[in-house]
């Protein structure tokens, strides 16, 4: 491995790395290297949690962007104090996001429209978002696949 963290960071951005190289980079001491490797598919929950434990808020959003991040981990990332705003946008986009994680995302202005269209959001919350002040949130809620048909029928004149 290179002694230069910038070179390791650039290597970590590749998504065709062999697992053994990916795993070594996941344990790097430099946060910018870990930020680059964190969204890499194939990392385990243990590895992602270790990244957060070692580097904290510097890597949270990139860990949240990992396609293999578990629902429990995503919930925990939304509860981090102090909050990292970009985490909410990443979680709101994530296929594993739970209703609890999405509820936290709704509190963030930029993540709110993303969360409003997520299928894991409870239908009662989606219906409530149809009256939101932000048109983008209303649009996302109306397009949500979990919007009940009965509500759709009421929206048609």
pLDDT score of 2: 75
pLDDT digits (tens, 9 = 90+) for 40-73: 999 999 999 999 999 999 999 999 999 999 999 9
In angstroms, the CA 92 to CA 66 distance is 13
pLDDT score of 81: 94
In angstroms, the CA 79 to CA 7 distance is 33
Mean pLDDT of the chain: 96
In angstroms, the CA 157 to CA 150 distance is 13
Q: Spell out the domain ranges in the chain.
A: 1-69
pLDDT score of 3: 87
What 8-state DSSP symbol labels residue 3?
Answer: S
pLDDT digits (tens, 9 = 90+) for 82-125: 999 999 999 999 999 999 999 999 999 999 999 999 999 999 99
Name the packing angle between helices 85-93 and 99-106 (round to 10°): 130
User: Contact at 8 Å (CB) between 110 and 89?
Assistant: yes
Prediction pTM value: 0.93
Identify the burial level of 78 via C-beta atoms within 10 angstroms of its C-beta, where 0-12 means exposed, 13-18 middle and 19 or more buried.
buried
pLDDT score of 156: 85
In angstroms, the CA 127 to CA 77 distance is 26
pLDDT digits (tens, 9 = 90+) for 130-152: 999 999 999 999 999 999 999 98
pLDDT score of 157: 80
């Amino acid at each position: 491995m290179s002694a230069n963290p910038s070179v390791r960071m650039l290597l970590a951005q590749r998504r065709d790395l062999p697992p053994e190289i990916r795993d070594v980079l996941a344990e790097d001491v430099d946060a910018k290297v870990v930020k680059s490797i964190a969204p890499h598919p194939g990392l385990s929950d243990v590895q992602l949690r270790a990244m957060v434990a070692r580097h904290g808020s510097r890597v949270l959003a990139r860990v949240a962007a990992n396609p293999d991040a578990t629902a429990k981990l995503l919930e925990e990332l939304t509860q981090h104090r102090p909050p990292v705003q970009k985490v909410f946008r990443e979680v709101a986009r994530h296929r594993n996001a739970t209703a609890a994680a999405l509820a936290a995302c709704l509190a963030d202005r930029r993540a709110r429209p993303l969360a409003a269209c997520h299928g894991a959001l409870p239908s009662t919350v989606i219906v409530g978002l149809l009256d939101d002040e932000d048109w983008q949130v209303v649009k996302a809620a109306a397009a949500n696949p979990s919007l009940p048909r009965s509500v759709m029928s009421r929206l048609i004149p």
